[in-house]
Amino acid sequence: MNILITGGAGFIGSHVIRRFVNKYPHYQIVNFDKLTYAGNLSNLKDIDEKANYTFVKGDICSIEDVSNAFKEHQITHVIHLAAESHVDRSIENPLEFAMTNVIGTLNLLSVAKSFWKDGKDHVFHHVSTDEVYGSLNETDLFKETTAYDPRSPYSASKASSDHFVKAFFHTYDFPIKMSNCSNNYGSHHFPEKLIPLMINNILNMQALPIYGKGENIRDWLWVEDHASAIDAIFHNGTLGETYNVGGLNEWTNIDLVNFLCRLMDEKLNREPGTSASLITYIKDRAGHDMRYAIDATKLETELGWKPSIQFEEGLSKTVDWYLENQNWVKDITSGSYQEYYKKMYS
């Protein structure tokens, strides 16, 4: 297999690449990434010398970039993770999200379709989000059959890309698999998302901004469990099918932040309540969905996948990683690494 993994320098993508490079040395893994603010090759410094790993700087919005990668590396499979993913940014600039998430995905589909005419086995695994389903009530769960009801420009762009992927399967008999996941957490996460932002702000004694009353509920998925789910779906999932991936860990935002505050007070030897005093309630985000929760029964019953870790343990490991890797945090937030890679790969 020659697998193109898009967005491989990002948070989830780097964990998927590390897993595939180490677990499948007979595969050739091509990391295709534009290196935006959220992409950082230092995420993969532990495997960048491996013989079965190659980095290609490219933009999924460029047909030429995608075609050149397919041609040069004889791509046989795709795991598509590249996306603009921050809801707040999508509210400010929805067009950028439409270009990357919709047009970028359509470019990948079109190029793969044009190259894969040899009659051999191929897979295009499209990784999406539970946000395409909209907002839940207090008791329901998102199933693979749940109707799409996106509420933000981000989720609308991902919903559109999902529909194009499914349309290629039905129209062209194109070999797709799809997964929709809940909120990921873990190491190497750019500190604009809730958990890494709170860790960084607590460490630096800065305000902890909470939207509304903090009552919005999210299901949290350990990023390494997500990588293992992608592995299972990619290898053993049924073509044309969607699999929901959830962590079975529902928390309100305020309960999560309070737990994180207690955890960090303990790890930083601070007086109890020190970090919680930084909590600041701000105006709720426009179109803020109240609750997400995934039913991962299909993935468990068909492919035998289950989360491997409880949230409290995973969060403790995540905090430890950030405390032990402050140079990574400083580099990625300062912008210095972006200038470095622009010079290297311009």
Interatomic CA distance for residues 28 and 52, integer angstroms: 5
154 carries an active-site annotation: yes
Q: Which residues pair with 116 in a beta bridge?
A: none
Write down how long the chain is. Answer: 346
Active-site position among 133, 154, 292, 322: 154
Q: Give the other-Cβ count within 10 Å of 118's Cβ.
A: 8
Q: Secondary structure of the chain: what % helix, strand, coil (to 5)? A: 45, 15, 35
* Residue among 296, 118, 301 nearest 221 (CA): 296
| Separation of alpha carbons 131 and 182, rounded Å | 8
Following DSSP, what letter does each residue of 204-216 receive, concatenated?
TT--EEEETTS--
**Cα–Cα distance measured from residue 35 to residue 342, given in angstroms and rounded to the nearest whole number:** 8
Specify burial of residue 303 (Cβ count, 10 A radius: 0-12, 13-18, 19+).
Answer: middle
Catalytic residue, chosen from 33, 84, 130, 231, is 130
User: Distance (Å, rounded) from C-alpha 277 to C-alpha 208?
Assistant: 9
**Dist. CA 241–CA 237, nearest whole Å:** 7
Tokens (6 digits) for 252: 């309100």
User: Kind and range of the H or E element at 114?
Assistant: helix 104-115
> Which is the catalytic residue, given 131, 162, 224, 225?
131
138 is catalytic: no
| Known catalytic residue at 53 | no
Q: Which residues are catalytic?
A: 130-131, 154
